[in-house]
Amino acid sequence: MHIPLPEGDWRKQNLKLNMALNLSGTGDLSVVPAGRNSEMTLTSNWPHPSFLGDFLPAKREVSESGFQAQWQSSWFANNLGERFASGNDTGWENFPAFSVAVTTPADQYQLTDRATKYAILLIALTFMAFFVFETLTAQRLHPMQYLLVGLSLVMFYLLLLALSEHIGFTVAWIIASLIGALMNGIYLQAVLKGWRNSMLFTLALLLLDGVMWGLLNSADSALLLGTSVLVVALAGMMFVTRNIDWYAFSLPKMKASKEVTMDDQLRIWK
């Protein structure tokens, strides 16, 4: 968009320009800072901006009621002075610009897709808890029992997607978590020989589901929260297994010999 100016020596005076522009249907807005020193302040009632381009805002405020951002630039950053001197007026769309896009919050399909990316973390932490339980007790779990519990965790995501198509994603998450916890709680009561251990694992699964929910809703700190979960899980495993003799645990127990021992007189070290 170009606006012709009347003839005159504009270098000896300041020029203020005001413009009203109505846009409909645009997904992003980019402004090339053509001035020797350029500043732009943009205010909008859209609460989900995505700042693009080569220049990020020097200041930004984002809230549920909208956002406000301020950009600053000069010719030293965009090299427009050299372009004006050369007279080249093509390729403006590739120039550095102040850019912002309006993004739409993720729907239930995108949220479910994000949730499945944490499925390996959820299953791995659950299996790690089973392994620690086997190590600390005499109870041994069959690989088929690991498989059935793993399948129940996978079904959680299918149930989440099916429910979220008819009800809200948050309600679907709560219902799927409760159904998964109930299935595993009843099954583990028989596998772990008691309600006490079963309830502990059920509460742990609900806690993991809550952590996964926190990861989905913390886009800015998801990496920090996920790393913290792994560090806490590893530290907990190291703490509860700190007194285990892994060599003795990995070797089969020697059965007591039923043979009669040799007479002490025949032992060469006697």
Q: What are the DSSP E strand ranges found in the chain?
A: 28-31, 37-44, 49-52, 59-63, 66-74, 98-102
Could you give the percent of the chain with pLDDT greater than 70?
Answer: 76
Is residue 216 domain-shared with residue 114, that is, in the same domain? yes
Q: How confident is the model at residue 85, as a pLDDT? A: 62
90: pLDDT confidence band, cut at 50, 70 and 90? low
Q: How confident is the model at residue 167, as a pLDDT? A: 84
Q: Is the pLDDT of residue 63 over 80?
A: yes
Q: Which of 82-86, 184-188, 249-253 reaches the highest mean pLDDT?
A: 184-188
Q: Is the pLDDT of residue 252 over 60?
A: no
Q: Is the pLDDT of residue 27 over 50?
A: yes
Last residue of a domain, one of 45, 69, 104: 104
Place of tokens 């645009």: 26
Answer yes or no: is 21 within a domain: no
Q: Which of 16-25, 115-124, 133-142 reaches the highest mean pLDDT?
A: 115-124
Last residue of a domain, one of 104, 130, 148: 104
Is residue 52 domain-shared with residue 113, that is, in the same domain? no
Is residue 164 domain-shared with residue 188, that is, in the same domain? yes
Is residue 93 domain-shared with residue 176, that is, in the same domain? no
Instruction: Compute CA distances 251 → 129, 210, 246, 247, 254, whole Å.
Output: 22, 38, 9, 6, 9
Is residue 61 domain-shared with residue 170, that is, in the same domain? no
Instruction: Compute CA distances 18 → 14, 21, 38, 40, whole Å.
Output: 13, 10, 15, 13
Between residues 238 and 265, which one has the greater pLDDT? 238
Q: CA 20 to CA 123: how far, in whole Å?
A: 55
Hey, which residues does 29 pair with through a beta bridge?
A: 100
Q: Check: CB of residue 111 under 8 Å from CB of residue 146.
A: no
Q: Check: CB of residue 55 under 8 Å from CB of residue 97.
A: yes
Q: CA 70 to CA 59: how far, in whole Å?
A: 5
Could you give the percent of the chain with pLDDT greater than 90?
Answer: 0
Q: Check: CB of residue 95 under 8 Å from CB of residue 32.
A: yes
Q: How confident is the model at residue 258, as a pLDDT? A: 44
Is residue 185 domain-shared with residue 115, that is, in the same domain? yes
Provide the terminal-to-terminal Cα distance of the chain, rounded to the nearest Å. Answer: 105
148-204 tens-digit pLDDT: 888 888 888 888 888 888 887 888 888 988 888 888 888 888 877 778 878 888 888
22: pLDDT confidence band, cut at 50, 70 and 90? confident
Place of tokens 């309006």: 102
H helices present in 51-99, as ranges: 75-78, 80-86
Is residue 214 domain-shared with residue 119, that is, in the same domain? yes
124, two tokens: 């791995």
Is residue 209 domain-shared with residue 113, that is, in the same domain? yes
Is residue 94 domain-shared with residue 212, that is, in the same domain? no
Q: Check: CB of residue 43 under 8 Å from CB of residue 21.
A: no
Is residue 99 domain-shared with residue 115, that is, in the same domain? no
Helices 195-216 and 108-116: crossing angle in degrees, nearest 10, is 120
The C-alpha angle with vertex 18 and arms to 14 and 20, in degrees rounded to 5, equals 165
Answer yes or no: is 248 within a domain: no
Place of tokens 């990861």: 215
Is residue 177 domain-shared with residue 199, that is, in the same domain? yes
Q: Is the pLDDT of residue 7 over 60?
A: yes
Is residue 81 domain-shared with residue 144, that is, in the same domain? no
How many domains does the chain contain in total?
2
Answer yes or no: is 76 within a domain: yes
11: pLDDT confidence band, cut at 50, 70 and 90? low
Q: Is the pLDDT of residue 265 over 60?
A: no
Domain with 118 in it: 107-242
